[in-house]
């Protein structure tokens, strides 16, 4: 069992939004250990394949291990079947890994999202292996604050352009109120063309337009 100090490394905010032309996934970068900021440039958004994204809340080590595992499985799937893994299959695989690890559990809460032949998909996956599809979702200690913005701003005809703005506003809301969330934004749009990160210059322009400092 992981010790108490490790269990404290759980504060974060991650977001997934299904839009009509793609999926937006976003995280902030802060990692905490209790009340201490342990790292200010932590990766919480991973590309599992060029059309599948993973966001992680929980222990950094567990998150990195799962990301490596899922990347390998997605590559094997593509090689064996000569086609990419569907988002639902990736979510089911992840849920099975977590549910099969009861004696040494992964201390994580995950979002699996992306775009395949059936369109955009998002799944929230808990540490026990529960997998729930949704149109938008937030995880981590800052999620209650992010949900306030998501509930108010989400609509079924949302484009990824507006979805990125909504993700920025939702992360900002969490970072203002949750001390475990902060130190920047990582945002990606996943659509028919694949994995499209929002570059720092574009992010700065969007924040300025939204009057976010």
Residue 183 CA, chain-centre distance (Å), reads 16
Question: Chain centroid to CA 42: how far?
Answer: 13
d(CA 132, CA 129): 10
pTM listed for this prediction: 0.91
Rounded Cα gap, residues 184 and 202, in angstroms? 14
Distance of CA 151 to the CA centre of its chain: 17
Please list, in sequence order, all residues whose beta carbon lies within 8 angstroms of the beta carbon of residue 124, skipping any fewer than 6 positions away: 16, 109, 110, 111, 131, 132, 134, 137, 139
Strand positions, DSSP E, 6-135: 14-19, 22-28, 31-33, 36-39, 45-49, 52-58, 108-116, 119-125, 131-133
Domain that holds residue 72: 4-209
State how many domains the chain has.
1
**Rg of the chain's alpha carbons, rounded to an integer?**
16
> Is the distance from CB of 108 to CB of 59 less than 8 angstroms?
yes
| 67-116 residue pLDDT tens | 999 999 999 999 999 999 999 999 999 999 998 876 678 889 999 999 99
pLDDT tens per residue across all 213 residues of the chain: 444 344 445 578 999 999 999 999 999 887 777 667 767 778 899 999 999 999 999 888 899 999 999 999 999 999 999 999 999 999 999 999 998 876 678 889 999 999 999 999 999 999 888 999 999 999 988 899 999 999 999 999 999 999 999 999 999 999 888 777 777 899 999 999 999 999 999 999 999 999 887
For residue 123, the tally of other CB atoms under 10 A from its CB is 23
Q: Please give the C-alpha separations between residue 22 and each of 108, 117, 189, in angstroms, as whole numbers.
A: 25, 12, 7
Predicted confidence at residue 2, as pLDDT, reads: 45
Of the residues 10, 12, 42, 139, only one is catalytic, namely 12
13 classed as catalytic: no
Residue with tokens 């934004």: 185
Alpha helices (H) in 51-199, listed in sequence order: 60-81, 87-99, 143-153, 160-177
CATH number of domain containing 67:
3.60.20.10
């Amino acid at each position: 069992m992981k010790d108490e100090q490790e269990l404290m490394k759980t504060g974060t905010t991650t977001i997934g939004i299904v839009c009509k032309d793609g999926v937006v996934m976003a995280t902030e970068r802060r990692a905490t250990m209790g009340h201490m900021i342990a790292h200010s440039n932590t990766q919480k958004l991973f590309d599992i394949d060029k059309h599948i994204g993973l966001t992680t809340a929980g222990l950094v080590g567990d998150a990195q291990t799962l990301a490596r595992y899922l990347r390998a499985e997605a590559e094997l799937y593509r090689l064996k079947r000569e086609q990419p893994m569907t988002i639902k299959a990736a979510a089911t695989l992840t849920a099975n890994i977590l549910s099969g690890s009861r004696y040494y559990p992964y201390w994580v809460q995950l979002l699996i999202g992306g775009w395949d032949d059936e369109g955009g998909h998002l799944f929230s996956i808990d540490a026990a292996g529960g997998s729930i599809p949704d149109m938008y979702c937030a995880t981590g200690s800052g999620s209650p604050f992010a949900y306030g913005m998501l509930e108010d701003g989400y609509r079924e005809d949302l484009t990824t352009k507006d979805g990125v703005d909504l993700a920025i506003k939702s992360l900002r809301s969490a970072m203002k109120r949750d001390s475990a969330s902060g130190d920047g934004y990582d945002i990606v749009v996943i659509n028919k063309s694949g994995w499209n990160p929002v570059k720092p210059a574009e992010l700065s322009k969007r924040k300025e337009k939204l009057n976010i400092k």
